[in-house]
Amino acid sequence: MAVKSTGKYYLGIDVGGTKILAGLFDKSLNLLAKWKIKTKAGRGGDVVIDRIVRAARELVADNGLRMANIQGVGLGVPGIVIKGRVYNAYNLHWDEVSIQSVLRRRFRVPVVVDNDCNLFTLGIHRVEYRSKPSTMAGAFLGTGFGGGLIINGELFRGHNFAAGEFGQITIDKNGLKTAHSFRGSLESLASRTGIVRALRKAVLEGEKTMLQDELGAHLTGVRSRHLRMALDEQDPLIKRIVKQAAQDTGIGIAAIVSAFGPEYVVLNGGVIEALHKEMLPVIRKTAEAHVLPGTMEGIHIQVSKLGDDGGIYGAAILARDEQSRTPIKGAKKKTTKRAKNIER
């Protein structure tokens, strides 16, 4: 679909610990173009902000546009977002950062911000499922483990804007712990970080994996693609650890189903994209074994087809929805003479 220099567009941006993905959307939320750059979070929080601005401006310029063509920007970030301020985004080196205000000044266009998994859930619900499920849960297995909730067709953020933090559900109180998660939580056990930690622990205890030949004795830089490769080669240690992560995820999904009873539980994230062939059947079987009989009837546990695009779709949807709720400057409320008299 052609981009017109006189048209009006939206940007959806998903910020992760390793990459920033930006998408250009038209008013009907058709995805027209994408732009991806490294986050470079290791250089500090201010650098991350500069990288977000760069990704947006390069995407706009590459399509022959100016920021004046942009009606609104939606941004998804890891962390809790309250009134445009981001908390606990440790992998971006942000805490209590007023990112909405900062980006509004930099872009000079309206900016809205939300948790990245909330926006993935919103994007999947609106685009992939066409807003049909009244209740839906999103669970995202990547570097961490996040989630989002749709209740009565709307994104549910909870009283403290932290609803959907499924990664903090405790599965094993004596289990492993990762840097910013509770001991034995889903994030500590079933995220890629948790899987790699379990793998390194097993190797230190004397077990072997083919990935030692690929990545060295310390298993430096394990990614989901390496786990996929090892599974394809029937690596026994990787098979066991991935199966355990799937079982832990299934127990977590059972808790979500028991608490909310969603019509759909939709899985996404780099770990699921790479390993769903092995993990999905185990997740389904384990979830069913950890709920009351009949509880899973009519509930679907599926893998999203949107992949990385789910987040940028959700961000663009948020930007457009926010604009539709914002009154146009200078617009006057029309009232009938009778209504005016009543108002007096």
pTM listed for this prediction: 0.90
pLDDT digits (tens, 9 = 90+) for 272-319: 999 999 999 999 999 999 999 999 999 999 999 999 999 999 999 999
Structural domains of the chain, ranges and CATH numbers in brackets: 9-120+308-325 (3.30.420.40), 131-303 (3.30.420.40)
pLDDT digits (tens, 9 = 90+) for 97-128: 999 999 999 999 999 999 999 999 999 999 99
- Tell me the residue ranges of DSSP E strands in 78-165: 80-82, 85-87, 111-115, 136-141, 145-151, 154-155
pLDDT digits (tens, 9 = 90+) for 195-226: 999 999 999 999 999 999 999 999 999 999 99
Could you give the angle at the alpha carbon of 182 between the alpha carbons of 181 and 184, nearest 5°?
A: 110
Residue 73 near residue 111, CB atoms below 8 Å:
yes
pLDDT of residue 331 exceeding 60, the answer is no
pLDDT digits (tens, 9 = 90+) for 254-276: 999 999 999 999 999 999 999 99
The residues with which 97 forms a beta bridge, in sequence order, are: 86
pLDDT digits (tens, 9 = 90+) for 157-173: 999 999 999 999 999 98
Categorise residue 268: left if φ over 0, alpha if ψ from -120 to 50, beta otherwise: beta
Q: Which two tokens stand for residue 222?
A: 């394990």
Q: Which two tokens stand for residue 92?
A: 């971006």
- The pLDDT, as a whole number, for residue 279 is 98
> What's the pLDDT band for 334 if we cut at 50, 70, 90?
very low
Q: Write the DSSP assignment of 214-245 as a string of letters.
A: HHTTTTTT--HHHHHHHHHTT-HHHHHHHHHH
- The pLDDT, as a whole number, for residue 323 is 87
Closest CA to 226 of 245, 199, 262: 199
